[in-house]
């Protein structure tokens, strides 16, 4: 007769319901009552959302290239960024601005990148973080490699990477789990499951009940949380990062959220998903949820809300002005195409560099 040699479960955590009320009857983390901290993170969430709206407006008016919106991901992203220490390392995909703003990446950096200017990936204030990774899930292995570097050097640092529900179908993600397990790496892999990989819904990636269980298959502790509940996201990230920093190995956190926007500004989601689904998602979105909780608790009021919106709008406008000023008045010379290829410019590239300078601005003029 068969005997069970292994058994698994995936725990789901939610502390704040969609109406912004604490779900009692469970042990609540202390941070649920740490209003000073929650307000700080709420402010970061609003800042991220106001930025996102401006970036889309810039794209729609021809001032920015294709842009990937983070609308609806604010709780998951700000929780990840807030739980990390500056010396930790983040390996993003391409829409985690909320994480990156916590880590010192500037609003102008993000605009420069999507505005077709490489200087956007030169983060002055997040010097060891990786730049955006457009090839899906490749960043997970870079984070695993970073984690191995810290482990080999005995540094108490943690590498964190984010992947989507679509990206969880890729080998790179599964290989990162495996590496984290094999070497007990200080690595936290976050699946920000926003239900859509461009036009392909979560249900078409696979029929597994959760994506977190892919971590369990590789031997890692793995949990699922409500990705629109800032408290649950932050609690999970702190738990995972603490374990990784203490040398207990890697961790997988699946955050259930929703991509309210199109995949990018080049996409039109109305072609493949019903509007009712998006309306339902708005009812569960993270910013209003946390605001409602904070207001109920007397930790936030309408006056503060209006002041914050005005402050964020001004900051975002300033970043947009700065971005437009840089690309208009200080564009990258064509020679910068060559100057960062190698530590020292090889001789054949030096010849091409001179040629490129000679022919500067002759392309596209017919």
**Of the residues 49, 259, 289, 291, which is catalytic?**
259
Is 263 annotated as catalytic?
yes
The gap from C-alpha 129 to its chain's centroid, in whole angstroms, comes to: 12
* Distance, CA of 350 to CA of 347 (rounded, Å): 5
Asked if 278 interacts with another protein (CB under 8 A), we say no
- Tell me the CA distances in angstroms from 161 to 13, 92, 164, 246, 316, one per residue in order: 20, 6, 10, 18, 26
**Of the residues 33, 248, 270, 272, which is catalytic?**
272
Asked if 330 interacts with another protein (CB under 8 A), we say no
3-class secondary-structure state, position 163: strand
Token pair for residue 20? 């912004």
Q: Which of 154, 192, 200 is CA-nearest to residue 173?
A: 192
Is 272 annotated as catalytic?
yes
Asked if 215 interacts with another protein (CB under 8 A), we say no
Contacting another protein (CB under 8 A), which of 115, 218, 227, 286? 115
* Distance, CA of 312 to CA of 184 (rounded, Å): 41
Asked if 336 interacts with another protein (CB under 8 A), we say yes
Minimum CB–partner distance for residue 79 and another protein (Å): 24
* Order of strands across the sheet that contains 251-256: 12-13, 222-226, 251-256, 187-193, 159-164, 89-91
CB atoms within 10 A of CB 231: 28
Minimum CB–partner distance for residue 350 and another protein (Å): 11
Interactions with another protein, residue window 155-184 (CB under 8 A): 164, 166-167, 169-171
What is the helix (H) or strand (E) element at residue 252, kind and residue range?
strand 251-256
Contacting another protein (CB under 8 A), which of 4, 61, 275, 362? 362
Asked if 130 interacts with another protein (CB under 8 A), we say no
Contacting another protein (CB under 8 A), which of 57, 124, 182, 198? 198
What is the helix (H) or strand (E) element at residue 46, kind and residue range?
helix 35-60
**Paired strand residues for 192:** 164, 255
Nearer to another protein, 107 or 211 (CB): 211
Contacting another protein (CB under 8 A), which of 200, 307, 314, 350? 200
**Of the residues 263, 289, 291, 353, which is catalytic?**
263
Asked if 117 interacts with another protein (CB under 8 A), we say yes
Is 123 annotated as catalytic?
no
Query: Which residues are designated catalytic?
Result: 259, 263, 272
**Interacting residues with another protein (CB under 8 A):** 65-66, 94, 113-118, 132, 134-136, 164, 166-167, 169-171, 197-200, 204-206, 264, 266-267, 271-272, 327, 331-332, 334, 336-338, 341, 348-349, 352, 355-356, 359-366
């Amino acid at each position: 007769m068969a005997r069970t040699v292994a058994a698994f479960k995936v725990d789901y955590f939610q502390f704040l319901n969609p109406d912004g009320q604490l779900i009692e009857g469970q042990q609540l983390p202390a941070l649920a009552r740490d209003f000073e901290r929650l307000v700080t993170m709420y402010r970061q969430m609003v800042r991220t959302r106001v930025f996102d709206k401006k970036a889309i407006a810039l794209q729609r008016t021809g001032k920015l290239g294709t842009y990937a919106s983070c609308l609806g991901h604010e709780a998951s992203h700000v929780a990840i960024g807030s739980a990390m220490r500056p010396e930790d390392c983040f390996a993003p995909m391409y829409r985690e601005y909320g994480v990156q703003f916590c880590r010192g990446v500037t609003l102008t950096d993000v605009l420069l990148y999507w505005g077709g200017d490489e200087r956007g990936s030169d983060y002055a204030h997040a010097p060891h973080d990786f730049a955006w990774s457009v090839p899906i899930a490749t960043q997970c292995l870079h984070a695993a490699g970073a984690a191995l570097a810290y482990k080999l050097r005995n540094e108490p640092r943690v590498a964190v990477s984010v992947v989507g529900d679509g990206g969880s179908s890729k080998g790179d993600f599964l290989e990162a789990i495996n590496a984290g397990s094999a070497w007990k790496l200080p690595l936290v892999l976050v699946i920000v499951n926003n239900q859509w990989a461009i036009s392909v819904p979560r249900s078409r990636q696979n029929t597994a009940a959760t994506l977190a269980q892919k971590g369990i298959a590789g031997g890692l502790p793995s949990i699922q949380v409500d990705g629109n509940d800032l408290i649950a996201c932050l609690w999970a990230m702190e738990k995972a990062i603490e374990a990784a920093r203490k040398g207990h190995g890697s961790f997988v956190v699946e955050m259930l959220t929703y991509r309210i926007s199109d995949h990018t500004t080049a996409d039109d989601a109305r072609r493949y998903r019903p509007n009712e689904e998006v309306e339902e998602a708005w009812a569960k979105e993270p910013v209003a949820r946390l605001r409602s909780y904070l207001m109920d608790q007397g930790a936030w009021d309408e006056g503060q809300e209006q002041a914050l919106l005005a402050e964020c709008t001004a900051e975002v406008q300033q970043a947009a002005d700065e971005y437009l000023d840089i690309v208009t008045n200080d564009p990258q010379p064509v020679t910068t195409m060559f100057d960062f290829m190698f530590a020292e410019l090889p001789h054949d590239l030096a010849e091409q560099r001179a040629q490129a300078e000679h022919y500067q601005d002759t392309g596209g003029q017919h």
